[in-house]
Structure 1
Amino acid sequence: MVLGWHGIMLSVDGVTKRHGCRAVLSDVTFEALPGRVTGFLGPNGAGKSCTLRILLGLDRPTAGTALIAGRAYRSLRNPLRTVGSMLDGSGAHRSRTARNHLTWVARSNGISKRRVNEVLEQAGLADTGRTRVGRFSLGMGQRLGLATALLGEPAALVLDEPMNGLDPEGIRWLRGLLRAQADAGGTVLLSSHLMSEVAEIADDLVVISAGSVVAAGPLAQVTAGYDTLEDAFFALTATTPEGEGR
């Protein structure tokens, strides 16, 4: 894997998000470092998606900053060359083919058309490039979303539930991909509910509950004193009213 450049740090500093009188996020602060996979965990509604949307310039914080290599996402030129992301599956229109979707995304970010074939192959979609997205299974849609994230050969990846719908072979492929990204000096921020997979691949953890960070640090530090990551997660989030934040 060839990265565009090294040393990208993702930083979220004092991010607060309010909707009227309700705080969705409260002073959220953490970093995702190059050369490491950072697992981003929290119950449904804890504020994970909101945090990632702010980091990727899809929403604005009430206070605080979320930066990619020291810059706001909106200020990045051809951002897919710096950070690849997947928040809502493939993001492709159902009437488009996988190849057409990737081609227009590549063109919009000044990415060589050759990358379309490369990422279709990398994501295991080489034989389905001319298939309309509406005919894709959930797993194929996830693979297309990952192919889109990889188009610009970015040094950072931000992925929300990328393993949803993948079969065991797909999960194994993704695990290897993310490990290779980090080992090559890239930065990976991974949100997932699959504790066993996060425990196997993550170097660092950030745990968010009711819109606030309740734990952050190396995997061994966050899970110290617990038998499993799952045990640590439930203990750390036990007082969270389910459904707060989003």
Structure 2
Amino acid sequence: MPMPITNQNMDSATIPALAGADALQHIGGGFETDVYRTTDGRFVVKRKREALPSTDAARREARRMQRLTRQFSACLGPEHTIATTYIVAGDAQGRPGVLAIQPWLAGAQPLDTLRYAELDHATHLRLLHHLLVIIARARRCYRAHGIMPDLYGLPGGTAAWPSRAPHHSPRLVWDFLVRRTLLRSHNLLLTAAPQQRVVLVDYDLAYRQYAPWLRRLYFTTRFLLLWRDRWLIARRLRALAAAADHPRR
């Protein structure tokens, strides 16, 4: 899926490397975004499916997304975020859109795919403590700005997504309220050893295109559900401590 670059925003160092990638491999997507990897394996490229009427509108959107990324990165801190560059590019039909470009994190795993029972004790413990830090910082972000990063995300895949909003789907509402805890996040990744950081990879504003009351309800609900996630993590920490005190023979 070639995408000729028509304008760049913020980070010029990324542009020559991306221009040298003559093809993009589709690796996933969700309700609003298609996700690709460059053929050289160096970058992830994300393209929003939202149609933009002009190049100027795409530039404004790129600037908005860059400001939001900086805000969320400042909230969570550099140890739990990754560099993200936004550029304006045209697709094969010449329609302008915004691409988010991030480094490919080789060996990183979304938390939703982790087998927690197979993690060694030190990795498991480090991951849980990172999540507690992320929860505390996300809550501070909500108190300060009324919004916070989308720490959860929607399930990825190549299957067709419903054209209606996620909250109109009973399956996704159930997933949102019950199944998708922070321990099963799609937007948080555990990077490979030796760093093994928990990092956020999606910096867009959830429910941005919907009514303000719906966005407020969404973020308030997420704020409250972080209490649940904190309790689940604390329970898992107690189980790890008990296992360390009474190792199997």
Q: TM-score range by the shorter chain?
A: under 0.3
Under a length normalisation based on structure 1, what TM-score does the superposition of the two structures give? 0.26
- Larger Rg computed on CA atoms: 2
| Structure with greater strand percent | 1
Under a length normalisation based on structure 2, what TM-score does the superposition of the two structures give? 0.26
